[in-house]
Structures are given as C-alpha cells and as structure tokens.
Amino acid sequence: MELSTLWFLLIAVLFTGYFILEGFDFGVGILLPVLGRDERERRVLINTIGPVWDGNEVWVLTAGGAMFAAFPAWYATLFSGFYLPLLLILVALILRGVAFEYRGKRPEPRWKARWDAAIFAGSLLPALLWGVAFGNIVRGVRLDADHEYAGTLWHLLNPYALLGGLVTLTLFTTHGAVFLALKTTGDIRARANALAARAGLVAAALAVAFLAWTLLGVRGGAAAAVLAVLAAAALVAGLAANRAGREGWAFVGTAAAIALSVATLFSALYPNVLPSISDSANSLTVDNASSTPYTLKIMTWVALVFTPVVLLYQGWTYWVFRRRVDVRDIPDT
C-alpha cells in the first residue's frame, strides 16, 4: 500500500474517532435544555462529559494536522473554500468550551442560563455543519485548473449537503441520548432512553435517504454499498438494544453506525480527496494532493510511536470516570 493511501485511511480513522467521541458530546449539549429540567439535572448532564469533552476534541485537531502535513493541497483548498463554515464550527467549539468552564463561576440562574444556551448552540451548530461539510466533500465542489475553490457559499448549501447536516445532527443527538442513558440513573436515564428511541427513528430515516442518495446519485462502489448496509444494520441493532434497556450495546450500535457511515463516505470518495464537479480533471486525489514520500515516511514513524500512547491515556480516562452519575451526587444549591 502506498503511503498516500495509508494516510488517507488514517485521516478517515481520525475523523471516525472524532465523530464517535465528540458526537455524544454534541448530543449531550443539544439535549441539555430538553432533559435538564432543573439545575441539578443539568449539572448531571454536564458531568457525564465533563472529564472527557476536551480530550475528544483532540481528534479533530490531529485530523486537521494530518491533512495539513500529508495532503497540503487538500488542506489548502478545503480550508479556503470552506472558510466560513469551518470558522463557524471553530467559534462554536470555543464558545462551548468557555461555557463549560464559566457556567459555575457565579450562582445567579440568569448567568447559568446564558452559558447553557451557549453550550446548546455550540453543540448544535457543529453537529449540523460537519455533515454539510462532508456532504460537499463527497459530492464535490467547483475547482479551477489550479485546484482552487471556484464556488460561493451558496454552492455549499445544496440539498445533498444540507441533508448530510440533518443526518449528523439527528445521529449525534441519538448517540448523545444513548450515552446519557448509559451514564445516568433514575428518571434522567429513563427519559434519555425514551428520547433516544424517538430521535433514532428520525436519524435512521434521514441516514438511509442520505446513503442511498450517495450511492445512487453522487458516487458509489461495491465496498461503499456494503458499508452503508452495515451502517444501517448497526443503527437498527443499537435502537433495538436501547429499547431493551441494554444501554451498553445500544451505545456500541450507534458508535458502529457512525463509524460505518464515515467509512462509507471515505470509501465512496477514494481515490479522490476533493472531487471537482466543474471538470473532473481538476479533482484533488490522493496522488496529486499528497506530500512527498519522505514527509509521509517521517509522519508514519511518528504516528507509530505516539498514537498508542494517546489511545492508552484516553482509554484510561474513560475507565477512571466510568461510573454512572446520579442527581444525588449533586449538592442542592
């Protein structure tokens, strides 16, 4: 396997990890005003992701860094052409991170309500825009002969990409509800379980429509079709486990559905990294967008050394904070 193809796969793995882990973070933030009926319940919801949310964001930073080093042409075209949507995602993530840190600095309900609104908006906007961004990456955009983006913002807001945004929004919401059912007890657990069942049906319908559109109307392939079927099966299995009250298996199901959906998109995309819909000769591929073989070789050795360390540390973090969170753990202020 060529190193350029290997790094294409590694970037797909990084985005998969990011969407699985940050996906339930986004879902918890979106559900904060829905499941958090009072201050103690809202604190329970935030505490479920408190020890891990910032570590989960490292995955997208690593993915962006890997794109910059392994595929500089892809990085340059993507981050210039998609500048406004990616800037909105960045601002939302910053606002959300600040909100987690500052909502407890003062006791006034109005102060907390404002930061709770920031957590909600900072979770909903990226959950929507990531789907829009990846929808455009898979569909393709207008590129000129110099591989520079030749479209406008409105070209990015096409029906296919907007449907992709709705898929990630509803899928992450479902994933977050399943995570809350897994990490809480009592009434919050029951309400999260019920909400996951309802949100999951919407997510399943939208995901099937989006994957079918991808395979039949945008770009397909036998491998992508198999992965799409497996993604749908994983989501159905996760919803069935949630209905049976098996939150652990339900979380595995929704996580697998996200992973297989990302795999479907990257499989359909390959060997392109950013197709051109104006002229296929202008498309960016794993070959014409990659760095030199020497650069990729150095990156591979660095990844082999440090990736296991990062995975072990993050796995240890989840193990330490594996216990369920209960309202009784929160002091009544």
Higher pLDDT, 280 or 33: 33
CA gap 83, 268 in Å, rounded: 24
pLDDT, tens digit, for every residue of 97-155? 999 999 988 888 899 999 999 999 999 999 999 999 999 999 999 999 888 988 888 88
Q: Over 181-233, what HEC string results? A: HHHECHHHHHHHHHHHHHHHHHHHHHHHHHHHHHHHHHCCCHHHHHHHHHHHH
Contact 266, 8 (CB under 8 A): yes
Q: Put residue 325 in one of left, alpha, beta given phi > 0 → left and psi -120 to 50 → alpha.
A: beta
Q: Which of 49, 62, 14, 177 is nearest to 119 (CA)?
A: 49
CA-CA-CA-CA dihedral for 231, 233, 234, 236, to nearest 10: 120
Round to whole Å and give the CA distance between 118 and 44.
17
Residue indicated by tokens 């890997």: 66
As a whole number of angstroms, the distance between CA 272 and CA 1 comes to 16
User: Is a pLDDT exceeding 70 seen at residue 213?
Assistant: yes
- Residues 223-248 have a mean pLDDT of 93
CB of 82 within 8 A of CB of 148? no
Partners of 276 in the β-ladder: 141
Quick one: tokens of 93?
A: 């993530």
pLDDT in tens, 214-227: 988 878 788 999 99
pLDDT score of 1: 67
> Would the pLDDT of 328 be above 90?
no
Task: Reduce the DSSP state of residue 246 to 3 states and report it.
Answer: coil
Residue with tokens 């950013």: 274
The 8-class DSSP code of residue 284 comes to E
The mean pLDDT of 165-176, rounded to a whole number, is 96
User: What is the C-alpha separation between 113 and 311, in angstroms, rounded?
Assistant: 35
Mean pLDDT of 205-222: 88
Strands 284-285 and 272-274: antiparallel
Adjacent-strand bridge partners of 274:
284
Compute how many other C-beta atoms are within 10 angstroms of the C-beta atom of residue 272: 21
What pTM did the predictor assign? 0.94
Tell me the pLDDT band of 326, cut-offs 50, 70 and 90: confident
Residue where the block lists tokens 């296991």: 308
- Model confidence at 198, pLDDT cuts 50, 70, 90, reads very high
pLDDT score recorded for residue 307: 86
**pLDDT mean over 244-249:** 92
Residue 333 has pLDDT above 70, yes or no: no
Q: How crowded is residue 124: how many other Cβ atoms within 10 Å of its Cβ?
A: 19
Q: Where does the pLDDT of residue 266 fall: very low under 50, low under 70, confident under 90, or very high at 90 and above?
A: very high
CA distances from 100 to 48, 217, 310 (A): 12, 41, 23
Which of these, 103, 134, 138, lies nearest to 117 by C-alpha position? Answer: 103
Q: In the predicted model, is pLDDT for residue 77 greater than 70?
A: yes
User: Which amino acid, 42?
Assistant: R
**Rounded-to-integer distance, Cα 140 and Cα 277, Å:** 6
Question: Which residues have CB under 8 Å from 100's CB, separation 6+?
Answer: 46, 50, 53, 119
Assess whether pLDDT exceeds 90 at residue 17: yes
Average pLDDT of the chain is 92
pLDDT, residue 217, reads 80
First to last CA, the chain: 59
